[in-house]
Structure 1
Amino acid sequence: MGLELTFTAQDAANVRFAASPLWEVVASVRVVKDPAAHAVLKPWAERVRRRLADVDWRLLSDLVPVPTISIVGFVCPPPSTSVPDLEVELAGMAAMAPLVQEGLDVWDGPRTRALQELYADPVGGLERLAEEIRSYWEAAIAP
């Protein structure tokens, strides 16, 4: 039994192969939050947890639940280039402000206070998220 996928021309036009710093952030948050599920990365996660002790990354953490059933699209929109840097992707994320409320309306993740604040003020919330991601990146990924 095989799996068959059908793509339209528009689907194929939207396919991107790219490195994504934002996706690396999301993937690493999943590891930090649940190192037991990623045994090979457990030593890394333990080191990172210590480095994150003074970093506020609550909103980022709330947007990447574990187990991860879904992630709202505005957290890591498709890269605009094949090798974007973090700032380019954060700018792309900021441009998603008009979609924040709609994305959170259909997302089945928990509704924390930080997410309620993001919902109430998408522009300011995404600015806060971008700052958290920069701080997280410096502590967790840049080293």
Structure 2
Amino acid sequence: MIELDAAQLSRVRFAVSPLWEVGLAALVLRRPDPGALFRRWAEQSRRRVDASALDRMIALTAGHDFVPDIFSAMPGSEQPDISEAPAHLRALPDELLDRDLARLDRAHQGRSRWIQSLMEDHARARGEIADVVAEFWHGAIAPHWEAFRRLARADIARHAINAADGGQGAMLDGIHPGVVWTGSALDILGACETSFGPTPAEDGVLLTPSAFAWPHVHVMSNAPFQPAIAYGVRGFGTLWETEGADAPSPAVERLVGSRRARVAAAIATPATTTELAHALGIAPATVSEHLRTLTDARLASALRDGRSVMYTLTDLGRRVLFAETF
């Protein structure tokens, strides 16, 4: 439970955390079966990531739900970049690094020689963890990152509308079925704790939409970091449905036009007209025209989600846009 007074409640904010996504993604790969929603991504990642880096990345998690605080949400902008991760790791207090590595060593029952070597040399630990993160990011997360960021922006906008309509409490109630606003505190049911103890939420709580948190809510509430909650972003299951979703073939571009093909490729992940215009740098009226054409041709469909209309490719649209042969 995270208690919030009125001032703390007013400081609740959203931000995407690339480094926490790395840890949560590795946690998914720890599972003997990642589940239907993650199976395709897991297969792709095991092919793309160097085996040694993959083993080390998984070693940096433990059990069913432990992601060390070294992967805590990075403070700063709403959309920090993974390039900030090395600086974040270099700035970690020695006592925090010691604590996390010691817990990992206990969880692995002293069988990970790599973890034990990191415990002996902090400089080496920071450098090697940064290298493993970079390799894992490149193969497992980077191919889906732009699509995820669009989902995250849409998710944050949706919650902002809920806050405007019903207040911060109503918004918090809609984050995840396991997050309940009691009127004075966030009651988090079945949370996967990544901390050692409670931290006063003096600066509010950081809410981080995640592609890999589902079905859990992950809570980081350990000093010196701002308490944070990672929850499954709405629509994350669409992120790895289609390989090469941002690159329609030249033949399709000649058939429908390059700009319309770009709009079609972008809605491989559901999006609104406004999101598409922002992501593609195209005027909203032009995006709307392309979407009408794609919908009339049954290559796209429109679904109302509250006040928003989300567009996505139909099965026919996916076959036309992404099939190599016909």
What TM-score bracket applies, with the shorter chain setting the length? 0.7 to 0.9
Per mean C-alpha deviation after superposition, the further-off stretch among 18-27 and 86-95 is 86-95
Coordinate RMSD, CA, aligned: 2.7
Structure with greater Cα Rg: 2
Partner AA of 2:19 in structure 1: L
Partner AA of 2:33 in structure 1: A
* 1:84 to partner: Cα distance: 0.9
Cα pair distance change 1:39/1:80, threshold 3 Å? same
Instruction: Among all aligned residue pairs of Structure 1 and Structure 2, give the percentage whose two residues are the same amino acid.
Output: 27
Q: How many residues align?
A: 138
Q: Structure 2: give runs of 5+ residues left out of the alignment.
A: 144-326
Within the candidate set 68, 77, 89, 2:72 is matched to 77
Instruction: Find the aligned partners of 1:14 and 1:66 in 2 and give their Cα distance.
Output: 33
Partner AA of 1:109 in structure 2: A
Correspondence for 2:107: 109
Cα pair distance change 1:64/1:14, threshold 3 Å? farther
SS of the equivalent of 1:56 reads helix
Partner AA of 2:117 in structure 1: E
Q: Is the 8 A contact 1:72 1:103 kept in 2?
A: yes
SS of the equivalent of 2:80 reads coil
Instruction: Find the aligned partners of 2:6 and 2:52 in 1 and give their Cα distance.
Output: 44
Correspondence for 2:135: 135
Per mean C-alpha deviation after superposition, the further-off stretch among 77-86 and 107-116 is 107-116
Per mean C-alpha deviation after superposition, the further-off stretch among 56-65 and 11-20 is 11-20
Per mean C-alpha deviation after superposition, the further-off stretch among 9-18 and 44-53 is 9-18
Partner AA of 2:68 in structure 1: V
Instruction: Find the aligned partners of 1:20 and 1:94 in 2 and give their Cα distance.
Output: 17
More helix by share: 1
* 1:130 to partner: Cα distance: 0.4
* 1:126 to partner: Cα distance: 1.3
Partner AA of 1:92 in structure 2: H
Cα pair distance change 1:5/1:21, threshold 3 Å? closer
* 1:6 to partner: Cα distance: 1.9
Instruction: Find the aligned partners of 2:11 and 2:62 in 1 and give their Cα distance.
Output: 27
Q: Structure 1: give runs of 5+ residues left out of the alignment.
A: none
Q: More relative contact order in 1 or in 2 (CA 8 Å, sep 6+)?
A: 1
Instruction: Find the aligned partners of 1:44 and 1:105 in 2 and give their Cα distance.
Output: 30
- Scaled by the length of structure 1, the TM-score of the pair is 0.78
Correspondence for 1:27: 24
